[in-house]
Amino acid sequence: MSDRNSAPLLIEMRNISKAFGPVQALRNINLTLAPGEILGLVGDNSAGKSTLMKVMTGAYQRDSGEVLVDGRETHFKSPHESREGGIEMIYQDFALCGNMDIAQNIFLGRWPRKGLFVDRKRMYAEADEVLKRLKVDVNSVFQKVESLSGGRQQSVAIARAISFNPRVVVLDEPTANLSVMATERLLETMAELKRHGVAQIIISHRLTDIFEVGDRIMVMKRGQNVGDRYIAHTDEAEVLELIVSGTPETALTADQALAARAA
């Protein structure tokens, strides 16, 4: 058994429920994530995927259930707290400042300082280092973000998340508006993050992308688990069937996930 297979789960969400007034968005959802694992989270537009991730990151507060990180129960009150816990979420709109350059966006709000002044030399050097680590090809870290393609902007958003040294990165529809070439580059970046031991959750409607880089896929429907499969043991047809007509089932428990990884 390898060290990775014997490692404890990084994230475990147990019986998570969340309602917005009369609308029950999540019903007793379970989710597990191992270190370095890439999990695809799929379902139709009302499945509750983004809601579940916002509960994980503290943007929403759960009504019931538990969130465990490294086996310890946590209760993040904001995305800032989840960031301190090693969890980053990259939203579909990237949340970048177009009139600022790449380095300024990567270090936005936490620019390195030298006394009372911003240490620009260090900021640009560290930004360049992060981009090289991810093998992101840009002309210059001095380039304005608004001049970048959608794929390059996505890479900057990922670089900003990685600069916090997260252990988990959540990507919300990361390839939705990208060209074929940009999508290929992004999938390569995800594979590079995996090689660095960063676990990832990909919310996506594009099953092909998940099957290319993912380890496991979890299907949600109307706020419930309807399927949890390892990529090696399923195919797109089965996942599509679960999305369309799946019935609630229990997602992998911690013990089942660990046993499957050790097999």
What Rg, from alpha-carbon coordinates, does the chain have? 19
User: Cβ(169)–Cβ(162) under 8 Å?
Assistant: yes
**What was the pLDDT predicted at 256?**
54
List, for residues 167-216, the tens digit of each pLDDT value.
Answer: 999 999 888 777 888 788 888 888 988 988 999 999 998 999 999 999 99
Total-model pTM: 0.82
Mark the ranges of the chain whose per-residue pLDDT is less than 70: 1-7, 249-263
Domains, in order of start, for the chain:
1-86+167-262 (3.40.50.300), 96-165 (no CATH)
List, for residues 129-145, the tens digit of each pLDDT value.
Answer: 888 887 777 888 999 99
Q: Are strands 64-69 and 72-74 parallel, antiparallel or unpaired?
A: antiparallel
Instruction: Give the E-state strand segments of the chain in sequence order.
Output: 11-20, 23-33, 38-42, 64-69, 72-74, 87-90, 113-114, 117-118, 168-172, 199-203, 216-221, 224-230
